[in-house]
Homo-oligomer: A and B are copies of this chain.
Amino acid sequence: MNRTPLTEQNVAEALSFARQAMPGAGEIALRYFRQTLAVDNKLSKGSFDPVTQADREVEACLREELTRYCPAFGVIGEEGGATPGTTDINWIVDPIDGTKAFISGFPTWGILVGLQQEDRVHAGLMYQPATGELFYGSAAGAFLEQKGQTLAMQSRQNVRLEEALLYCTHESMFANQDNLAAFHRISGKARLQRFGGDCYSYCMLALGQVDLVVEDTLQPYDIVPLIPIIEAAGGVITDADGKTPLGGGFVVAAANRELHEEVMALL
């Protein structure tokens, strides 16, 4: 297996390929958005984790396109698992992040693609096809593309916890009472706390609208593609130990380093 590190030029090209793949994947997702869906239930014991035809078809489309552009890279997807390439570089794909928003008709879900080599995520993208918003980030910066316009994104650098807008998809996501208590210590000090959001919250953090996202029990594909977007916008995102959250789990995303430190002191 080829372990040559990616160059900035490689990353820029790969990111450009992934951007080109998004509109086609988005069109597939929109065929199922706000339509009556046959919703599968992946978990058997009463939890609700819809997997739709959209999920499977979007991932199949992205696997094909990304492999065609970059045959040496592997693909690790939520639906189809891992398909190794000839290098240690992988695309991480979450075809529909925010399936509950998706089945509720809210345009706040997203198609996520990340580019990972070992412990480094070089590039990440989130595409919301109903609004046409494409958020992406790499060492070259964080950007929002919509209606042919490109906007450089920056997270809020001067906000502390008492002024912060905090998002979390749902309290039921916390793995245990300790983690929920930690969330409440944080939310009790924030200016405003709102639920909902999924991947959209993290992109709003990069865009300087939301200041904090604190979540738990994330899967790697839920969060890995968002890491470069947040970091390139000036934010900080880690797990509870202060490490890059490559494995998912408990995640603290903050608009700036001081805010992140304030929150970590409450864990």
Q: How far is the CA of A130 from the CA of B48 in the complex (A)?
A: 30
Q: How far is the CA of A129 from the CA of B196 in the complex (A)?
A: 21
Mask: chain A, 91-104; 1 = CB below 8 Å from B; 0 = not: 00000000011011
A-B contact pairs, 12 of them (CB 8 A): A34-B207, A34-B209, A36-B208, A100-B194, A104-B167, A104-B209, A105-B210, A106-B196, A106-B204, A107-B108, A108-B108, A195-B196
User: Which of A's residues lie within 8 Å of B, judged by CB?
Assistant: 34, 36, 48, 100-101, 103-108, 130-131, 165, 167, 170, 191-192, 194-197, 200, 204, 207-210
Shortest C-beta distance, A28 to chain B (Å), equals 19
Chain B residues within an 8 Å CB radius of A200: 106
Chain B residues within an 8 Å CB radius of A48: 191-192
Shortest C-beta distance, A47 to chain B (Å), equals 10
Q: With A196-B194, A197-B196, A209-B34 in contact, is A131–B103 under 8 Å at CB? A: no
Main secondary structure of the interface of A (DSSP, over half): loop
Chain B residues within an 8 Å CB radius of A165: 103-104
Q: How far is the CA of A101 from the CA of B210 in the complex (A)?
A: 10
Chain B residues within an 8 Å CB radius of A131: 107, 130-131
Shortest C-beta distance, A135 to chain B (Å), equals 11
Chain B residues within an 8 Å CB radius of A197: 106, 196
Contacting pair A108 B106 (CB below 8 A): yes
Contacting pair A207 B105 (CB below 8 A): yes
Q: Which residue of B lies closest to A33 (CB)?
A: B209
Q: Which residue of B lies closest to A128 (CB)?
A: B107
Q: How far is the CA of A101 from the CA of B36 in the complex (A)?
A: 27
Q: Which residue of B lies closest to A132 (CB)?
A: B131
Chain B residues within an 8 Å CB radius of A192: 48, 100
Q: Which residue of B lies closest to A144 (CB)?
A: B34
Q: How far is the CA of A196 from the CA of B222 in the complex (A)?
A: 20
Contacting pair A104 B194 (CB below 8 A): yes
Chain B residues within an 8 Å CB radius of A100: 192, 194
Q: How far is the CA of A194 from the CA of B34 in the complex (A)?
A: 17
Shortest C-beta distance, A234 to chain B (Å), equals 15
Q: Which residue of B lies closest to A46 (CB)?
A: B191
Q: How far is the CA of A107 from the CA of B105 in the complex (A)?
A: 12
Contacting pair B204 A105 (CB below 8 A): yes
